[in-house]
Amino acid sequence: MTDSAIVLAEGESHFPPGIHSFDFRDWFTGLSDTALAHMFTTITFAVWASVAILIVFFLWAYRKPQIVPTKKQWIAESAYGFIRNTVAIDQMGKKEGVKFAPYLATLFLFILIMNFWAIVPGVQVSPMSHIAFPAVLGVLSWIIYNVVGIKKHGFIGYLKLTCVPPGAPWFIYPLLIPIEFLQNLILRPVTLALRLFANMFAGHLILLVFILGGFEMLNSGNIFIQGLSVFSFAMGIAMTLFELIVILLQAYVFTLLTGMYIQGSLADEH
């Protein structure tokens, strides 16, 4: 036990995968003890690469927009138009929807590309499996829907809108108001961030289990177990496809919920 613990701590062996699998070395070891630790790792590289890919693609594809779109322009427009129409305008209507569509589309694309690193060969880990990144997005969503609500209804009006559900009998208010307050104003960003984080974290873990497990079986001396490793790798591939669905779904869910929260803040008082 002590042996394996030491080995794990040193990161030389990868099986079984655990939380240590999410710790990435600093690229510049000299920075490890400074404030710049964790600034240059595979994770942050993936973050910057995601942003760079999106910025470069969209600026390139939309350099000279035309009425009749070219193929690359069409792809860029579809990416934006998907969130604009199915999330923003569907929930908030044409006027408000168009106002919030740019943020929601940016959010969706960012999460999508960040998630996508989970199945990119050679990286196979999403930055979203580090709580910091989903947390930033969750807090941003929280700020946005609260600011929007307070702007529209005033501070008291907004509190009333979110915490006092209409139609409930008065004697249940002491119970209902704290629950609503907690749910709508405290837990929403937490659940947003945790849902995304946990999905990507678990996805990475599952891939590691099957792929590293396959290698572990290959390394065992037993020919029978070595033969069985094929199934482990096959599961790894199947789980990669499954992960693709999770990637798309989680990016969409995060965006959809943010849109719903904003819409809730915009809703007229009952």
Residues that bind another protein (CB under 8 A): 1-2, 4-5, 9, 18-20, 22, 35-39, 43-44, 47-48, 50-51, 54-55, 58-59, 62, 65-67, 69, 76-77, 80-81, 98, 101-103, 105-106, 109-110, 127, 130-133, 135-137, 140, 201
Amino acid sitting at position 127 = P
| 58 phi and psi angles, rounded to 5 deg | -70, -40
| 7 phi and psi angles, rounded to 5 deg | -60, -45
Q: Residues 52-88, buried b or exposed e (16+ Cβ, 10 A)?
A: eebeebbeebeeeeeeeeeeebeebeebbeebbeebb
Q: How far is the CB of 56 from another protein (least distance, A)?
A: 10
Q: How far is the CB of 15 from another protein (least distance, A)?
A: 15
Q: How far is the CB of 260 from another protein (least distance, A)?
A: 20
Residues in the chain: 270
Of 78 and 178, nearer to another protein (C-beta) is 78
Q: How far is the CB of 41 from another protein (least distance, A)?
A: 9
Q: How far is the CB of 23 from another protein (least distance, A)?
A: 9
Of 4 and 220, nearer to another protein (C-beta) is 4
Q: Please state whether 124 falls in left (phi above 0), alpha (psi between -120 and 50) or beta.
A: left
Q: Which residues fall within 8 angstroms of residue 6, CB to CB, at 6 or more apart?
A: none
Neighbours of 99 (CB within 10 A): 14
Q: How far is the CB of 207 from another protein (least distance, A)?
A: 17
Of 94 and 270, nearer to another protein (C-beta) is 94
Of 84 and 188, nearer to another protein (C-beta) is 84
Q: SS3 for 249?
A: helix
CA 50 to chain centre: 13
Of 133 and 158, nearer to another protein (C-beta) is 133
Are the CB atoms for 139 and 189 separated by under 8 Å? yes
Of 133 and 210, nearer to another protein (C-beta) is 133
112: closest CA among 257, 236, 244, 263? 244
